[in-house]
Amino acid sequence: MNGKIPLPASGRPAIGTKTDHWHLCPVAIDRTGGTALPDENQTPEAAVVPHVPDTDGDACVNASQSETDPGADAPEADSAQAPRYERIHLRVTLASIALSIALPLAFLLAGWSEALRDVVEGWTGSAGPAALVILIYLLIVMLAFEVVTFPLDIYSGHFVERQFGLSRSTLGQWLIDWAKAQALQLVFLVAAVELIYLLLRELPGTWWLVAGAGFTLFFVVLAALAPVLLFRIFFKFEPLPDGELKDRLLALSLRLGVYVRGVYIWKLGEKTSKANAALAGWGRTRRILLADTLIDEHSTDEIEVVLAHEMAHQVHHDIWKGLAIQTALVFVAFYAVHLALDAWTEPLGLRSVSDIANLPLLLLVSGAVALLALPVANGLSRRMEHAADVYALEKTGMTGPFASAMERLSEQNLSRRRPNRIIELVLHSHPSVESRIEFARQWEREHRAADTGSSATEQS
């Protein structure tokens, strides 16, 4: 339980290299770098559902570079800061994982969870409503967890970002966003936990099926509402003025058959120097979101190929594939919790499967499922991202702008161009920047050769 707010997979990521985040509900708002922008330091926390890849940073270079041959120059090395930035966030990730295991385990094995339940029941009376006991218990547990994890939150979310020149938020601004996130997280977690324990009381044998269906419905609805309601709690948006960029993006959406509600400027520059883009929402809430940092620093060609990648996810139905993966993992996690509660409730001295004192066990088991599923989910994500790259290149032919977008990405967001292979396989939802540039070069060479062969045939 940390300062990141659960949100649904409302849009596939724009081009990026970030890793995934895990929560009782999927997808997080990154208060310093963009909506649904999982950082490379995020924790696979004790959770029920993994977030399937979402919005990551995009970045490009200036317009003059957008016309270059992607195979003309060898990829540049990482900036001097990128390896340090990655190491710091990796250490924070490991520390967060350790805390997400140690805290629930301590609550469970030391008897603190039962003691807290007894205290709360003493306050509410033995005949007090179960929902009230759960609410007070959960508030106290969340407070205890936040006291322990807040130093990591503020260190990685504010001080590290400021140290590397990525955050433009003051400490006060960061704390305000952190408080907003905590309030939203409280609402989501209380609703989720109350629902789970209501079902455990009323349907002890089949609760996990009903809970899985309920969570799936919640994800679908929130996917549509997030860009309209929740994103605006943290960020400002305004319609993109008429002009070449808007015309080209709307024409692209029509050509690719992707309906969008409109194109909006996403005011990220007030909080971060990172660039970002997203195609958020679904149905009539789907809209193109372009960070002002992206518009200011990137050419029209680069932004168009970034959005072609983004729209590829809609064409390939990756949003629904992601929701399907989430749904499967929800049911697996809930069923694993069901088995664990049946097996361990009595040995641990708990009253029943609906005893709120078993919440740490629920968190530990669902967290274990999340950790085990992390490499698989990220592997599937990388395949979808590669397919979106192929689609964007095929539909635009903009290999130069694509390569320059990747070049700037690694600089602007301090992403490693070629991360450690194990870290990439486990933690990254996107292929490495360097591999994507290499693919663009290969794609360009193959199509040039095919064009040359076709021309020679026609001349003969």
Which among 272, 288, 222, 373 is positioned nearest to 34, based on CA atoms? 272
Residue 356 lies in a domain: yes
How far apart (Å, rounded) are the C-alpha atoms in residues 174 and 307?
29
How far apart (Å, rounded) are the C-alpha atoms in residues 107 and 110?
6
Tokens for 2?
């940390």
Q: What is the arithmetic mean of pLDDT over 389-395?
A: 95
> What secondary structure, in 3-state letters, does 64-121 show?
CHHHCCCCCCCCCCCCCHHHHHHHHHHHHHHHHHHHHHHHHHHHHHCCHHHHHHHHHH
Tokens for 395?
């539909």
For residue 428, the cross-strand partners are 19
Question: Is the distance from CB of 26 to CB of 50 less than 8 angstroms?
Answer: yes
pLDDT of 68 reads 36
Residue 457 lies in a domain: no
Percent residues over pLDDT 90 in the chain = 60
When divided into structural domains, the chain yields a total of: 1
Instruction: Pick the more confident residue, 238 or 63.
Output: 238
Q: What is the pTM of this model?
A: 0.79
Per-chain mean pLDDT for the chain: 81
Tokens for 159?
């001080």
Residue 460 lies in a domain: no
| E strand or H helix at 266 | strand 263-266
Q: Is the pLDDT of residue 454 over 60?
A: no
Residue 182 lies in a domain: yes
- Segments forming the whole domain that contains residue 199: 5-452
pLDDT band at 221, cuts 50/70/90? confident
Question: Is the distance from CB of 375 to CB of 429 less than 8 angstroms?
Answer: no
Would you give the end-to-end CA distance of the chain in angstroms? Answer: 69
pLDDT of 34 reads 32
93-107 pLDDT, tens digit per residue, is: 999 999 999 999 999
Calculate the CA dihedral of residues 341, 347, 348, 354 and round it to 10 degrees: 30
pLDDT of 50 reads 32
Q: What is the arithmetic mean of pLDDT over 282-296?
A: 87
Residue 98 lies in a domain: yes
37-73 pLDDT, tens digit per residue, is: 333 333 333 333 333 333 333 333 223 333 334 444 4
pLDDT band at 292, cuts 50/70/90? very high
Q: What is the arithmetic mean of pLDDT over 107-123?
A: 92
Residue 458 lies in a domain: no
pLDDT of 143 reads 93
Alpha helix (H) ranges present in 125-202?
130-154, 160-163, 171-202
Q: Is the pLDDT of residue 211 over 80?
A: yes
Question: Is the distance from CB of 12 to CB of 36 less than 8 angstroms?
Answer: no
Residue 314 lies in a domain: yes
414-452 pLDDT, tens digit per residue, is: 888 888 889 899 989 999 999 999 999 999 988 877 666
